[in-house]
Amino acid sequence: MIYKNTIIAILLLPMLGSLIGWLIGRKSEAYRDTFNILLTGAEFLIINLIFKRIATGPVELFIPDIMGIGLSLKLDIFRYIFIWVTSLIWFLTTIYSTQYLIRYKNRNRYYAFFMLTLGSTIGIFLSENLINLFTFFEIMSFTSYALVIHDEDEYAHEAGRSYISMAIIGGLILLMGLFLLYDYLGTVDIRPLSMAMKDLGNIKYLISALLIIGFGVKASIVPLHVWLPKAHPAAPTPASAILSGILVKTGIFGIIVVVSIMMNGDMVLSTVILIIGFINMFLGGFLAMFQRNIKRILAYSSMSQIGYILMGIGLIGLLKEHNAIAVYATLYHIFNHALFKVLLFLCAGVIYMILHELSINAIRGFGKHKNILKILFLIGLFAIIGMPGFNGFISKTLLHEALAEAHHMYHNMWFNVAEVIFTISSSFTVAYLLKIFVAVFMEKSDKYKGQYKHHLKKRAMIPMVALSVVIIYIGLRPNIILKVLEGTMVLFNAHEHIEPHFYNIHNIKSSMITIGFGFIIFIGFISRYLRKEENGEPVYVNPSLKWFSLERHLYIPVARFLYRSSSMIFKVIDRGIINLVMYVSNSLKALSGIKVKKPSKAIENLKIKKPNVLVRKNNKNEFTTFSDILEILRFNLNSLMYGVFILAIMIIVVLGILVF
């Protein structure tokens, strides 16, 4: 029971903390910052404390009558990994925020939404019920929107527009999938669904496609990634860090739930995810090389890394009973990516904090004399490119092994292509990070000579140092995480137990080859073609700006066309009804205005009695109109004769109907 309460506590703590923090912040900013750090610290601590219980088995909790069908929460090892890394990153970024945000406005709003986002993210990872998951997912979209537009300048608003419109459309598609799911299976609980989906016909592909599109928007799968390179740079750095490090993972979490748990790693779906993964990894890496804004490079890098994770998810399905290695690889990479991507973002944030500039051309040579920052960035760089001794090496090796195993299993020539793409994408990673590193930390610049030292406070450095320590520690002792990951095997129907040796000559060699390729790409492509001399200063150019842009050239025109055509159709319907009514009323008016020549005197004289109205009208006008006739009719209808007449007819009709 205590653990059930704990689950509720870790869900509610940030949500309540957001409100309390906001209230405190109205009085004193310093207290609020301390409060937030303590809160996230406490959250992290609680999550650490319940590990022992979670390791022995999942904790489930059901509270009826919330959100209509009840709140169904579950915490097992699989979810625990996500939650642990979420709370860790949040704790560190909160510490970092207190330093980073000093010059920003609306800090109180930022912290409130920051904490709400934490609560809803935790809610996503805890939900055992897809409706709960969807609800938290939407809350998270809206609260993180407030973080994206925090600067409230034009660029931030444009990015926010992309972000929120994609998120809403994705959410609606997701909801449609959920409706179909509920309609066909009558349940939205994740565990029963995995049983029930088997018996469903081809409709299950439609349902899972809708769900994957919905989650895929957040996970930035191609071609739904257009918001990501805009939103991540637009947000304040701690927010970009969590967007890239954690929020993208909520989409990944959803995709894992759909593909690997609900669909039990269906072959078709896994293949599709695998292919999307390769596209993501290649395209993200390729585009990252052209960018000049550091945060944008890192954002595209996230996209590329998501490609690795998607590839892992695809392989979980494809490897069937031998999927243990793919499971390890995927979850490990999710974990790692959160760590090193946040570290890199925080490094970029430090630069921005001092210079308010992110373009490589402007900050060139800034880090030449900043040794601590240089080292921290280098650690992140080594981690992400998979240098032996860092955590990225472990997960990339695992992913590579999983791919090799799939190759071995299927003997399909496409896997050769896949290996090539994998290697090239990894080299891209090396190349675009070298681009940053060389430009910012190696090149000489007359502007920056080691000043600005006093700008950096310990509060900003501690989280980065902590992340670096974790990165190196688990890079050197990978088995700690592997042991934890073992608990998730049951969920994915994996049985094998692997005890890989990472630091053997083969793995290190392949890692080195990749890095070597990366150097070649950097020197041969980036330095040669993307670096131009202008006024004696080296300047990086970005030709990709002129290329085909999905958002500008496809989505917006299509959306505009859809909007215009649908508004056109509705306008036709709308105007049509109004016109019809007008037409009918006009024609009725015209009809009532038709003038009939009044009866000749001879006939008129035959009439013995006339109602007053008739007499008056006839005397006045030569013509009588339809409305006059109506008037006379009304007069007649009101008479006693009519009453008796109706009565007689009714008697005849009623008795007739009854008797015959």
Q: Which residues bind other proteins (CB under 8 A)?
A: 637-638, 640, 642-644, 646-647, 650-651, 654-655, 657-659
Nearest C-alpha neighbor of 488 from the set 339, 334, 274, 338: 334
Based on CB atoms, which residue is closest to other proteins, 505 or 658? 658
Residue 528: exposure state from Cβ atoms within 10 A (0-12, 13-18, ≥19)? exposed
Based on CB atoms, which residue is closest to other proteins, 596 or 654? 654
**DSSP-assigned letters across all residues of 274-330:** HHHHHHHHHHHHHHHHH--BHHHHHHHHHHHHHHHHHHHHHHHHHTGGGTHHHHHHH
Going by their DSSP bridges, the two strands 531-534 and 537-540 should be labelled as antiparallel
User: Please, what is the minimum distance in Å from the beta carbon of residue 659 to other proteins?
Assistant: 5
Based on CB atoms, which residue is closest to other proteins, 523 or 653? 653
Based on CB atoms, which residue is closest to other proteins, 45 or 644? 644
- Calpha distance 654→660 (Å, rounded): 10
Element at 241 (helix H, strand E): helix 237-242
Nearest C-alpha neighbor of 194 from the set 180, 209, 179, 204: 204
Element at 550 (helix H, strand E): none
- Calpha distance 213→566 (Å, rounded): 23
Based on CB atoms, which residue is closest to other proteins, 578 or 655? 655
C-beta atoms surrounding 656 within 10 Å: 9
**DSSP-assigned letters across all residues of 178-234:** HHHHHHHHS--BHHHHHHHGGG--THHHHHHHHHHHHHHHHHT-TTS-TTHHHHHHH
Based on CB atoms, which residue is closest to other proteins, 1 or 640? 640
- Calpha distance 264→270 (Å, rounded): 10
Sign of CA dihedral 616, 621, 624, 628: negative
C-beta atoms surrounding 229 within 10 Å: 26
User: Please, what is the minimum distance in Å from the beta carbon of residue 584 to other proteins?
Assistant: 16
**DSSP-assigned letters across all residues of 29-57:** HHHHHHHHHHHHHHHHHHHHHTHHHHHHS
Based on CB atoms, which residue is closest to other proteins, 602 or 658? 658
User: Please, what is the minimum distance in Å from the beta carbon of residue 658 to other proteins?
Assistant: 4
**DSSP-assigned letters across all residues of 446-496:** SS-SS--GGG--HHHHHHHHHHHHHHHHHHH-THHHHHHHGGGGGGGT---
3 state DSSP class of 440:
helix
User: Please, what is the minimum distance in Å from the beta carbon of residue 633 to other proteins?
Assistant: 12
Give, as one character, the DSSP assignment of residue 105.
Answer: S
Based on CB atoms, which residue is closest to other proteins, 498 or 649? 649
Based on CB atoms, which residue is closest to other proteins, 572 or 649? 649
- Calpha distance 309→303 (Å, rounded): 10
Give, as one character, the DSSP assignment of residue 352.
Answer: H
User: Please, what is the minimum distance in Å from the beta carbon of residue 629 to other proteins?
Assistant: 16
User: Please, what is the minimum distance in Å from the beta carbon of residue 646 to other proteins?
Assistant: 5
User: Please, what is the minimum distance in Å from the beta carbon of residue 639 to other proteins?
Assistant: 8
User: Please, what is the minimum distance in Å from the beta carbon of residue 616 to other proteins?
Assistant: 18
Going by their DSSP bridges, the two strands 71-75 and 595-597 should be labelled as unpaired
User: Please, what is the minimum distance in Å from the beta carbon of residue 634 to other proteins?
Assistant: 9
Asked whether 213 and 225 are in contact (CB, 8 A), the reply is no
* Sequence-ordered list of residues with C-beta below 8 angstroms from that of 107, at least 6 positions apart, any chain: 25, 29, 101
User: Please, what is the minimum distance in Å from the beta carbon of residue 608 to other proteins?
Assistant: 21
Based on CB atoms, which residue is closest to other proteins, 576 or 643? 643
- Calpha distance 618→636 (Å, rounded): 17
CA 371 to chain centre: 36
The CA-CA-CA angle for residues 209, 210, 213, to 5°, reads 85
User: Please, what is the minimum distance in Å from the beta carbon of residue 484 to other proteins?
Assistant: 57
User: Please, what is the minimum distance in Å from the beta carbon of residue 648 to other proteins?
Assistant: 9
User: Please, what is the minimum distance in Å from the beta carbon of residue 588 to other proteins?
Assistant: 14
Based on CB atoms, which residue is closest to other proteins, 548 or 660? 660
Based on CB atoms, which residue is closest to other proteins, 2 or 640? 640
Based on CB atoms, which residue is closest to other proteins, 557 or 643? 643
